[in-house]
Amino acid sequence: MHDFTPVSGFAGGALIGLAAALLMLLTGRIAGVTGIVGGLLQPGTADRFWRIAFIAGLIAAPLIAALFGAPLPRPAMNASLVVTAIAGLLVGFGTRMGNGCTSGHGVCGFARLSGRSIVATFIFMTAAIITVAIVRHGIGG
Amino acid sequence: MPVLASFVCGLIFGAGLLISGMTDPQKVLGFLDLFGAWDATLAFVMAGAVAVAATGFAIARRRTAPAFSARFLWPDRNDIDAPLVGGAILFGIGWGLAGICPGPALVNLAGLSLPIVVFVIAMLAGMIGQNLLGKNLWRRRAASPRAIEPSPLPSRADG
């Protein structure tokens, strides 16, 4: 069972926003995970080190939390491995094609009031809601 | 310094994802499941993140340069094109299937569970596929004056 947790949600969200604000104020970059990872995977990208450092920070967060007794994240997944792989492909391909994901379009784009990002966020939210409706309830969008 | 700053920002970002519960796909799917036991937490995560990020960006807009680099790389596009719409649809379907998007996927990688490793490998393959394919398909097909210019640097992309 999963309960509604608005306080930890808002607090964690504020930290995500703080990270996005700091990355812009300190390095001039948008904290979009798709752009950071996708740029790293693109041949000819010159600025690799800050990208690797940001990704290392993401992975280090739960490892540091584990030092203080938190369990490592090993989330339960309902989908089969085949569906999980298809989902991963769609997420990777789609976010790169659409130039952003929940962080770049959702958080940073909304914070910049970018029309492009707001449209993208509504589209991927809607597509995800319809997908969940079909998978869980077998109803069409 | 920019590299250290990026690491610290990644760390804070990852901590935020963990504290907010967004690294748990069941919680994300709970938000996306409007027709089940709806969990509105993700909306509060977004609200907190956007409020703080917008404040930081407003401060940045008043400055001439970031602390550790030459200039702010604000995304410079505002057109709504087919790749934006198509990419968002594909991403949304994948997100709805697994309940994981790129940030939480990388944070979860620390636990090295099999489904997450499979998801991340597939996600990276999808990104590489789009990096290779995209350049030759829709980007070249765009017959606007923009197509004559070199394609936007990845650093200027929206996210």
Q: Is residue B148 part of a domain?
A: yes
d(CA B7, CA B13): 10
Q: Cα dist. A81→A78, B94, B111 in Å?
A: 9, 13, 17
Residue B34 has its nearest CB partner, among A16, A100, A129, at A129
| pLDDT score of A83 more than 60 | yes
Q: Tell me if residue A7 falls in helix, strand or coil.
A: helix
| pLDDT score of A117 more than 50 | yes
Q: Are residues B141 and B86 part of one domain? A: yes
Print the domain residue range for B123. Answer: 82-152
Q: Is residue B37 part of a domain?
A: yes
From chain A, the residues in CB contact with B108 under 8 A are 62, 73-75
Q: Is residue B19 part of a domain?
A: yes
Report the domain count for chain B.
Answer: 2
Q: Are residues B43 and B9 part of one domain? A: yes
Measure CA A65 to chain center. 19
Q: CB B96 to CB A130 under 8 A?
A: yes
Q: Is residue B157 part of a domain?
A: no
pLDDT in tens, B33-90: 998 889 999 999 999 999 999 999 999 999 999 999 999 999 999 899 999 999 999 9
Residue A75 has its nearest CB partner, among B2, B34, B108, at B108
pLDDT above 90: percentage of residues in chain B: 78
Q: Last residue of some domain: B11, B29, B61?
A: B61
Q: Structure pTM?
A: 0.91
ipTM (interface predicted TM): 0.95
Residue A13 has its nearest CB partner, among B46, B69, B96, at B46
Q: Is residue B35 part of a domain?
A: yes
